[in-house]
Structure 1
Amino acid sequence: MLKFVKIAVIAALFAALPVAAVTPSPAMIAQFQNLSPAEQQRLAKQYGIELPAGSSGSSTSQQAQPEVLAPQQVSATKERVRTALPVAPAATSGRFGMSMFNADVSTFAPIDNAPVAENYRLGPDDIVLLQLFGKQNSSEELKVSRNGTVSLPEIGPVNVNGLTVVQASDLIVNKVREAMIGVDAVVTMGKLRTINIFVAGEARTPGMFAVSALTNVTQALYVAGGVSEIGSLRDIQVKRNGETVAHFDLYNLLLRGDNSGDIQLKHGDVVFVAPLKATVQATGEVKRPAIYEIKSGETIDNLLSMVGGTKAGAYPQSVVLERFDSNNLRNLLNLDLTNAVNKQMSLRDGDVLTVSATSPRIEHQVTLVGAVVRPGQYSWQQGLRINDLIKSFWADLHMTADLDYALIVRETNDAGDVKVLQFALANAVNQPQSTDNIELKPRDLVLVFNYAEQAVNRTALNDYLRKEVQKRYNTSDEMRWAASEDLSSVGFNNLVQDNENRMARRASLGATDVIAGQKIVDAQLYDSQPKRAMFDQTVVGVSVGESALPDIMQQVMLKLYYDKELLNLSASFNRTELMFPLIEKLKMQARNGASPLLVRVSGEVKVPGEYPLVEGANLKHLITAASGLTESAYLGRAELTRAEGINSNSNSIEVRNIAVNLETAFSGSEVFSLQSRDRLNIFPIPDWNIERAIEIRGEVKFPGRYTIQRGEMLSDVIERAGGLSRSAFMQGVVYTRESVKERERLQLKKLTEQLRADIATKSLSEDGIKTSPQDAMLMINQLESQPPIGRLVLDVPAILAGDISADIPVEDGDLFYIPRTDYTVSVVGEVQHASSHRFKDNMTVEDYLNLAGGLRKRADEDRIYVIKANGSVVIPSAKGWFAVKTSQLEPGDAIIVPVDTEYKDSLGLWATVTQIFYQSAVALAALNSF
């Protein structure tokens, strides 16, 4: 009863999954059955509710739409400032601070209504606003005259020249209070005077400028268009009356926010931009890579402060300083910036400081890849085992995970060579004390495969590949082919084919090429060519984007085991794809004539192919790697092919074929160890294919599809079908066979090639060709598109009469069609009216031709023939058809009048072509009549 409940829960669980969901592996089902009923109910509820909503094949996150940026709106004031200046090229040197004066992004605009500082001193042309209130209310606008006075109403001139705003305000208010009893006053500043300054030196547009009296050094530089390419940002001087009154370092403002040197200018001041002296460059893993201007005595520590320090991924222990030596030649210095002494090294003009990134490799890590819920990189600790990473089948693995086969890829030396360990994942999780729960080492790679050729969320992987293709090609014509539902499978198959083509190319180079050193040259030339000839646009006319797919897939495979995005998609790779980078790695590390640690299995296994040779591998390990045997596998005998070595006499590889018994291999009574390059072939059970069948149509008592055995005869199958009906037309049987179709297909291909050659030869002859090339090629195209029938001519009456010589053994895919009795004779070809007529005993071929209106002008009267109802062809005797009586005509026959090929082009093959057309038409007409 308990077993029945378990089975019911399992059925309910998996029935709740959507149709597009993957199928759980047999091992996962077995683990589910081993759970308690309570756990089974909990999981059934969990997956029954949540999975359908999240297992859709189109559950990938919606792609974010690119944000459309509106053009930057520039105010009319800013535009006036720009257009008032001469147009100069933007800075392109990459020097830090130069972008401050970029007119395209600058937000500088003169501000006339800014608050006036209390220490501002009045001068000619300043406007003072006077507000009177009390007994008298009025507003006055007072302009400072050239002699420095303002004229107060009812009071007279008052000298304010050189006074500060506060001093002038106090003076005017006191004057008003003294002279005007009961009246008070408020003094504010109006429009300020304009001063003339001169911007000189290495400014972009030096000259004299009329600016506001509140203008400071930076505003003056903006007005002059900034600093030129050879101007200094750190040595800007303000000269007044022939003396330097201020030095301004723009880096203090940009890097520290210190504007203490940005003084307010006075009338007649000169802003002088000194020439650029020394620069250094900081590149690599720094926060603000650029070219920096330096002053005398500044050090590497000062430069690091300018660049904002190093990035988190920088490696300060290995910094390279490039500088010119005393001979003006470039020299490199390796510095450790964790050493304070090195940071105090003085900089020179032209120095380039390169801070490299730290290694992307993590020393103490293990990587989990494949059919796991949370793939990625994990911290390694002493004593870490498989069970510490994967604790639960249901929480840590996908339902498609293969619990019998997983791998650990472990580095063995500093060269990066690896060895492979195989373990049973189910034992590692369920039995922590088992040998399968292997202790991990730093940098181990754990591969968990999907069962057989399953994969999880293939849509996400295909979307990733499309994005990779779009980075190179984004036009509709180039991307139309990328709409394939399973782009990853297409790309992987193309990649595998590329590798096979490359290996075949190298293997085809002869021994003489090796002696002459040509093999290496040819191989290099071959590898430099586009990787896939069949994707060459000039050869097959495919898009340029499609030709890049194998290269893109190659890059994906190279990054699969360490790229974080691909690690998250690793469950979307099937068994063969996830194994591919490891197989390639094992091939690459086989050096100096050593064989790669690979073995191959073919035949009756779930996933035939190449697999790593693990430590202590035997036949059971290899079959488990291939997801196990198929149900048709024959356990009694398999064949192992092994390369024993080189025969010194024949200078060739000695190969030995070993018969093995899989039953004893699985039981453990016989352990057969594997070696590199072993090939295991597992045979199917003899006559296992119970789907071998023949189809019988037409006039039999029980038409249908019949399963057949090897060697069964046609007469036996007809008898099983109840025999022929009374209306069966035995002479008109159509019997087709797939193997005959294939031979006809090859013959048609050969015939079309011969026709092309004949047309080319005839067109070059003196007589030429009467038919236009277009018509000739149309005939060839029709011939190529002609489907092969694969018809066998049978003597059914003899077969049913028990004639053993007429009977044939049936094959899988055969079609036996027997029509109803036909009482007509057809006339086709070069006659006035192709038609069918009722058969009469006393009518000859000539009579039927006359009924069809007679022959046309280009009919070939000497080559008229008859296609019998059973498919055979009867040709005329020496006396011709018109001396023949009715004994050669029967119901169901077709009289064929071919075209006169001599009349057409003197191409003898045209007769063969027309005969093929007519024979195919007769057979197809018979089949379609049912």
Structure 2
Amino acid sequence: MKFTSLISLLFILLIPTLSWSNTVKPGSSIVLFNDENIPIIPMTSVNKLGVLTLDDRSIDLAGIELTSVSSTLKRIIGEDYPINSVVVYTDDELASVTILGDIKQPGNYLQPKLSPVWQLGYFNTLYDHESFEADITVIRGNSEKRLTEKSLKDVLVMDGDIYLLSLRKITKIQKKDDHEMSESESDNKPLTPQNKKPLSFENRVETEDVTQKPADMANQLRKLLVSQNKIAEKTSRKQASEKKQEAPSGKSLSRNHIIQPGDIVTVNLPGEEGFNSDFLIGRDGTLSLPEIGQVSLGGMSLDVAEKHIYQALSSVYLGLDKLSVLVKERRLLVTVLGFVKNPGQVEMPDNGNVQTAINLAGGLKDGAQLNKLQLQRGEETISFNFKKYLDTGDALMIPPLQSLDTIFVPSSPDLSNVYGQSGAEGNSGIDPTEDRTAIRVFGEVIRPGSFAFTEGMTIIDALLRAGGVTRYASVEQIRMIDGSEPILFNLKSYLDNGDYGQLPILGEGATVFVPKQVDAVNGGGRIVYVMGQVQKPGAFETGEKVSFLDVLANAGGPNRYADNSMVRILKTDGNVVRFNLQEYAEGGDEKLPRIDPGDAIFIPQKSTLVDDSWLKIPTNTSVRMIGAVQKPGRYLWSEGINFMDMLSHAGGPTSKADIAHVRIVSTGDNGKAISREFNLQHFIERGGNWNSLPELSGGVTVIFPELPEDPSDNKSQWVRLSSEQAIYIMGAVVTPGRYAFSDEMGVLDILSAAQGPTEESDLTNIRIIHRNGLAPRVSRLNLVEYFETGDETLLPHVANGDSIFIPSRNRSWVQKKSYETIRVLGSVKETGRYDFSSDMTILDILAQAGGPTNTALVEKIIIVNSVADKNQAYTFDLVEFMKDPNLEKLPVLRAGDTIFVPDVKNTKWAYFMDIVKDTVSMVSIFALVK
């Protein structure tokens, strides 16, 4: 009784399911057929609400049984459409195919599986089949077949097919009435509801070329390439022997040459306008002659062609005894189609190759798939790897060309139908219908799909292309089908022992399936938590033999922000276990940590400069890079990272960095800071041992000081530079102040940095105070003498900590030392103290003083000399010297001397003349009064 009740209950529950399976489902595709079993209109889909739209007419099919669809549509639209039958197709009954060529919108289309290929244009709106007929070429797997009228009946549509359609316009003679359908057309009836059942593979009628295996195709291609190269070698040797038999002029090929499309033929007929020029043999083997028109010469030898032209011209021209025909040059007419910039026919030399043809067609467009180029020669199609030719330069990788060849360059599978990157983020795979060699990965992976095959691809590469496995993946039971042999792969075992021999290499068209790990997810109450930067953080139930990698794989693995070197396992007893996953993956000594129930795996985020995540790095594992660097901040440190690595990570020093005084501050005993200096500029310019670079460790601070800016504008920059690292420049310069210099710089570099001396500067008395020795020292510099002699020994060495003072020539005389000057007194225009050098004479000193006045007694100039603390005086007659200017008669002057120029008014003669002048004046006044 109970069993009967259970059966009744199950029957009641299954009634809605059975009812639903026999009704029209949303998304189903509907095709209307006429009496001749040809689709009346293109295939139309039912929307989500179960509504079918035809000619702006909405027909509600929701809930209608499949057996009633035909009668329903006949009742509603039977007056407008001659409906004989209606077929409803579900998604699994439709094949995804790619249709290219002379159609309105090339791309991917859905076509009923096992429907006749000749009905492509009826199920989808591809072209006007009333005005055009289509020549169809099918590409299935690695084979290609151009279908004839006979084979059109035999080939049925399969999932993944590629069809190339070439349209030709139907002439009035070819166009048939509806009642004149041929026998072949009447036999090619579409699938009706009665014969819609899929055929078995054994019952399918297909040509041998279409179903050829990839391995057989590869062998045939290799044999074809070898035979073609042998033919090319024989042809080249034959051409070489023919050239020896040419006429002395060398302008024509051998008389035995067979004329081919692309040849340039010279027709000489003296006295006739339009001849005596070159003519090109067209694709159809003909050339066009004046008054005659098209003359077919293709396949003829040169002698036969000349006779043929003679006969054609004899009906129009006389005097053909001087007619001569020569083949001037061989050219190839090649058509380049597909993903090139200027597709079409190109004309090229007979020694050109595939690369020459592509270049003449404008070159490849971005997105061309170079490893799948095709050469079409008549009914024959050759696929070759053009990229391998570009990589190796091996001419055997590309087939030799002949006239009328067609080169087809396909687009990359990563491009969409509208020539753009395919798919959104997270779906970088390809449509499996576009490439039968694609690798298919599905199951418990992040992004299942099909991916382009590359030589040497492993199962790990395929899993990475699919984004890795999910949290539910059974990594010990991964299945792979390569060809007809299934293979079981244990990812966990491979990651445990790293045996590369366990890693399967995938072939073309391989399939990888990652099953769900039911036991690891649902078996028991052992919970492990995964947190931080993983694909899917959360709590996971694990089996007894689940390891760290199993749990991490269930969490989707680390994401791109994860710091794999800082993994932490938080144990239930409160301990923290550190684990360097990056070092383990690189084959280091790290061991996988043990995972117990209740443990938590935490994977932190990488250190960045964008947010505050650097604060999460412990001080003892980081290095601070501050000062004049491009990206100052804290950086994670680990063993093996040297000073240059850390500086590169910080973006390098800025243009204002003082790299000669880099400071490295570390922590010594008892927490004391230890500072040391490193001259990076010396290391860069002069080199050195790499071991001399400062050793870094966790907690170290690297400081790059900044060179001060112009001190006249920003004196606050001075405090950034200690006195031992700066040079002081004071006095009569444009911008005095503190400057930082390297030890390799000299006095002239420093003066140039201060924008040079002013106009008032006394360049003969520059002082340099040296403070970098045991005791302060002062040196003098006569810069004028250096510029006059160029003697480098006059320039003193200057180091950081020194001071440079440039005095002014206009300083007060009280600021000048008496033993460095000469005093000028008496009857001169400007008395005072004047700077004196050993090359100066009394004339120079008098000139500096403005010269003698009008009342000066220049015959009695007095010079007071100080020699050994004794003063000696002598006179100098300037008037006598002017009469006989002998420089040897000039007095010798020394610093500290005194020059006195007396005045005529102060002599006795001047006193006598004053009395005489007074007496004469009194006599004159007395005489006037009288």
TM-score by length of 1: 0.25
TM-score by length of 2: 0.25
- Determine which structure has greater relative contact order: mean sequence separation of CA pairs < 8 Å that are 6+ residues apart, divided by chain length: 1
Q: State which structure, 1 or 2, has the greater radius of gyration over its C-alpha atoms.
A: 2
